[in-house]
C-alpha cells in the first residue's frame, strides 16, 4: 500500500516528537523557483492549514441551531407554555447523558488504561474527575444564586422573577464553560489526527462534526432557556468555537498530542461531570414540573430521542 503521509512525517516517525513549525530554510533553500518554494511550504504546513480549517468547521456547527431552532415567540402554545423549547431541552438532557456515558467517559477510561493504569485505577481517576466537575459546577451555581438574591432582598422595586433570571443566566454560562472545554479537546483531537495523515484527520473531523450537531442544538436550547437571545447564544457558541481553535494550535505548536495525553483524561472527566450537573441538576428538575400529561410524554420521547441519537452516533463513529 502506498504511504499517503507527507515527507515530514516519514522522516520523524523514528522519534516521539515532531519539531514544529519546520524552519523556512528547510524548504526555501531547495527548488528552482518561487513555485517550488510555495509547493514546499504547502507540504510542510499542510497539517497546520488542515487543522485550523477543520477546527473552525467543527466550531461553526454551533451556528446551525440558529437556523434549525424556531424563534421563542414561535414556540409558545395557545396556553402560553414554551412547548417546543421544553421539547428541545428534553432532547438536550438526553443528548448530554448520551454524550457523557457513551462518548466522554469511555474515551477517558480508554486513554487512562492506554497510559498504563489498570481497570480499577482508570475508573477511579476518571470518577474523581467527574465528581470534581459536578461539585465545582454546583458550588459556582450556589454562590451565584446566593449573590443574586442578597442584594435584592431590600429592594422593593424588584419583581420576584429577577433572582431566577440571574440564576438561569449563570446556568447558561456554566454550560458555555463545559462546552468550551469540550471544544478544546476536539481541537486537540483534530490537530493530532492531521499530524498522522490527512485521511485520518478528515475521518476524525467528520466523526466530531456528526457528533456535534445534535449536541449544539441542545446547548443552544439551554442558552435560550437561560435568558440568552438567539444572537447572544450564537455569539456565545462562536466564542466556544474559538476555544476549539486554541486546542488545535496548542497541539500543533507542541508538535505532538502525546504530551497532553495524561491531561486529556482529566479534562474529559471534568467535562463529563459538568454536563451531568447541567442535565440532571439544572435542566431536568424544571422539566419534571410539567403537569400536562401529553406534554410530559412528548418530553420523555424527546429525552429518549436525544439519548438514542448519541447512541447511534457512538456506534457509527
Closest CA to 225 of 285, 171, 291, 302: 171
- Looking at residue 10, what is its pLDDT? 42
pLDDT for position 255: 67
Q: Is the CB of residue 172 less than 8 Å from the CB of residue 21? A: no
Q: What is the tens place of the pLDDT at every residue in 175-229?
A: 999 989 988 988 888 888 887 777 888 888 888 888 888 888 888 889 988 888 8
Q: What is the overall mean pLDDT for the chain?
A: 76
| pLDDT value of position 95 | 93
What pLDDT, in 10s, does the model give residues 130-180? 999 999 999 888 887 655 544 444 444 444 444 444 455 788 888 999 989
> Nearest-CA neighbor of 273 among 135, 81, 80, 92?
135
Residue 304 has pLDDT above 90, yes or no: yes
Residue 17, pLDDT > 80, answer no
Whole-angstrom Cα distance, residue 62 to residue 316? 22
Q: Which residue has the higher pLDDT, 219 or 38?
A: 219
Listed in sequence order, the residues at least 6 apart from 11 whose beta carbon sits closer than 8 Å to its beta carbon are none
pLDDT at 135: 94
- pLDDT bracket for residue 314 (50, 70, 90): confident
Ranges 54-63, 76-85, 150-159, 271-280: which has the least confidence: 150-159
Rounded to an integer, the average pLDDT of 276-285 is: 91
| Cβ atoms within 10 Å, residue 125 | 20
Q: What is the C-alpha separation between 74 and 72, in angstroms, rounded?
A: 5
pLDDT for 259 beyond 80: no
Task: Write down the pLDDT at residue 216.
Answer: 87
Distance, in Å, from the CA atom of 149 to the CA atom of 49, rounded to the nearest integer, reads: 49
The pLDDT, as a whole number, for residue 261 is 61
| pLDDT for the residue numbered 147 | 56
Q: Report the pLDDT value the prediction gives residue 157, as an integer from 0 to 100.
A: 44
Q: How confident is the model at residue 70 (pLDDT cuts 50, 70, 90)?
A: low
- 300 has a pLDDT exceeding 90: yes
pLDDT band at 93 (very low <50, low <70, confident <90, very high): very high
pLDDT(241) > 60: yes
Amino acid at each position: 500500500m502506498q504511504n499517503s503521509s507527507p515527507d515530514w512525517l516519514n522522516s520523524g516517525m523514528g522519534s516521539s516528537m515532531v519539531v514544529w513549525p519546520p524552519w523556512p530554510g528547510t524548504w526555501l533553500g531547495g527548488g528552482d523557483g518561487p513555485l517550488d518554494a510555495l509547493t514546499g511550504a504547502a507540504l510542510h504546513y499542510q497539517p497546520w492549514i488542515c487543522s485550523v480549517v477543520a477546527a473552525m468547521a467543527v466550531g461553526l456547527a454551533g451556528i446551525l441551531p440558529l437556523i434549525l431552532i424556531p424563534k421563542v415567540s414561535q414556540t409558545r402554545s395557545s396556553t402560553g407554555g414554551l412547548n417546543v423549547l421544553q421539547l428541545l431541552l428534553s432532547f438536550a438532557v438526553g443528548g448530554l447523558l448520551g454524550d457523557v456515558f457513551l462518548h466522554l467517559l469511555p474515551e477517558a477510561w480508554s486513554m487512562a488504561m492506554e497510559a498504563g493504569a489498570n481497570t480499577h485505577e482508570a475508573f477511579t481517576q476518571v470518577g474523581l474527575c467527574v465528581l470534581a466537575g459536578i461539585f465545582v459546577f454546583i458550588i459556582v451555581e450556589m454562590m451565584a444564586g446566593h449573590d443574586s438574591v442578597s442584594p435584592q432582598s431590600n429592594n422593593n422595586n424588584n419583581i420576584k422573577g429577577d433572582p431566577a433570571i440571574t440564576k438561569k443566566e449563570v446556568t447558561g454560562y456554566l454550560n458555555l464553560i463545559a462546552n468550551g472545554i469540550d471544544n478544546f479537546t476536539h481541537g486537540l483531537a483534530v490537530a493530532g489526527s492531521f499530524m498522522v495523515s490527512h485521511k485520518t484527520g478528515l475521518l476524525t473531523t467528520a466523526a466530531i462534526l456528526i457528533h456535534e450537531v445534535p449536541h449544539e442544538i441542545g446547548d443552544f436550547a439551554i442558552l435560550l432557556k437561560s435568558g440568552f437571545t438567539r444572537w447572544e447564544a450564537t455569539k456565545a457558541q462562536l466564542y466556544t468555537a474559538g476555544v476549539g481553535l486554541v486546542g488545535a494550535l496548542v497541539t500543533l505548536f507542541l508538535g505532538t498530542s502525546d504530551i497532553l495525553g495524561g491531561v486529556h483524561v482529566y479534562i474529559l472527566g471534568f467535562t463529563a461531570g459538568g454536563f451531568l450537573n447541567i442535565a440532571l441538576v439544572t435542566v431536568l428538575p424544571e422539566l419534571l414540573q410539567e403537569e400536562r400529561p401529553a406534554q410530559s410524554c412528548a418530553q420523555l420521547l424527546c429525552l429518549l430521542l436525544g439519548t438514542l441519537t448519541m447512541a447511534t452516533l457512538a456506534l457509527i463513529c
